[in-house]
Amino acid sequence: MPEGKVQTVCGDILPDQLGRTLTHEHIRLQYQCCFVDPKTDAEKERARDPEIRLDNLGWIRQYPYSHLENLKLGDESLKVMTSEVGYFKECGGGSIVEATTIGISPDWEFLKQVSELTGVHIVAGTGHYMGFTLPDEAKNASVEDLCKFIVKEIEEGRNGVKGGVIGEIGCNYPLTDVEKKCLIAASKAQKMTGAPLLIHPGRHHDSPMEIVKIIRDSGGDVSKTVMSHLDRTIYDYDGLIELAKTGCILEHDLFGIEVSLYQKNPSVDFLSDAQRIRRIKHLIDNGFADQLVIAHDIHTKHRLVKYGGHGYSHILANVIPQMLLRGITQEEIDKMLIETPKRWLAFSK
């Protein structure tokens, strides 16, 4: 194992080489598995439109999971995605954690090409996404076999390209039997390899704490675990503080989404970037500046610059200036974008 180093798709690097790091993005995935069927005939017709244009972009932004073409980020060419990641590089970006796992079509060779062409370090995720997306081979595998699969992807890789993070590991709430099995396997693989762990929690306030307990009980390292998507999972400040006290790393990774309707859970109001910044400031003020990371979790086409979206450079270009205006210091920003990713992504034993 590359103890003390970060394992990227182009080989091992020192943590100091990472630079500003987005800890949860997708560059290559197919997300049609999470299509939300529209309710009206008119919307069903829109869902089948094979293009993203100015005259339907507003509707797609409102209902991103109901437009099939929008869910096919993996159809974009190498030229397009090199350009998109290149904008991040031009704004001072250094590294991206690419969180696509089994179930949503990871492509590590494509990631290596993007990394080589842009100079951006890319760390690829191994493991399994939510249970309903998985092939039968994974659903029927034992915990031991799932663990061996992850370890092999870290130690040997695919065609010479190795995984550098376990996850995102997909979880619902409550966990399905398959998802619990995959989570236990991921925790055991983390213990064996010293790799960082990345979790996709269920859309429920209690999900992250349930997952933390399973990780601990399975021998995993909670301090080397990022809990993703908290900006759509825990909506009260006390809950965030409770989770932070477990020692895990808290991730707000939906920066750039400014639509209050959350298709995946319409009963709650989705956050704005301003609200995300306030939550982060609250965590910093309560002593958890060393446990925070941020990203955009780009996983649909409409969020790319090509289609009028904010792109991978949004945090660097637009969010950081707002953080500074809201009383978050440059030192605290550097912890989120540089220091904590360095500590998390470096393999330990």
- Domain assignment present for residue 17? The answer is yes
Mean pLDDT of all residues belonging to the chain:
97
Average pLDDT for residues 54-69, to the nearest whole number? Answer: 96
Average pLDDT for residues 158-168, to the nearest whole number? Answer: 97
Residue 14's domain is classified under what CATH number?
3.20.20.140
Dihedral sign for Cα 58, 64, 68, 69, please: positive
Average pLDDT for residues 149-172, to the nearest whole number? Answer: 97
Q: What confidence tier does 160 reach under pLDDT thresholds 50, 70, 90?
A: very high
Asked if residue 251 has pLDDT above 80, the reply is yes
Domain count along the chain:
1
Asked if residue 1 has pLDDT above 90, the reply is no
- Domain assignment present for residue 300? The answer is no
Show the domain range for 227.
6-23+73-294+308-345
Asked if residue 349 has pLDDT above 80, the reply is no
pLDDT of residue 42: 86
Distance, first Cα to last Cα, the chain: 9
pTM of the model: 0.98
pLDDT above 90: percentage of residues in the chain: 97
- Domain assignment present for residue 207? The answer is yes
Residue with tokens 């995605």: 81
Average pLDDT for residues 222-248, to the nearest whole number? Answer: 98
**Cis peptide upstream of residue 174 (ω within 30 degrees of 0):** yes
pLDDT tens, residue by residue, 266-307: 999 999 999 999 999 999 999 999 999 999 999 999 999 999
pLDDT tens, residue by residue, 77-121: 999 999 999 999 999 999 999 999 999 999 999 999 999 999 999
Read off the tokens for 230.
């908290």
Asked if residue 39 has pLDDT above 90, the reply is no
Asked if residue 231 has pLDDT above 80, the reply is yes
- Domain assignment present for residue 52? The answer is no
- Domain assignment present for residue 31? The answer is no
- Cα–Cα distance list, 211 to 151, 169, 198, 246 (Å): 21, 11, 11, 11
With beta carbons less than 8 A apart as the criterion, state whether 248 and 227 touch: yes
Residue with tokens 């933390």: 212
- Domain assignment present for residue 238? The answer is yes
Average pLDDT for residues 65-87, to the nearest whole number? Answer: 98
Q: What confidence tier does 2 reach under pLDDT thresholds 50, 70, 90?
A: confident
- Domain assignment present for residue 61? The answer is no
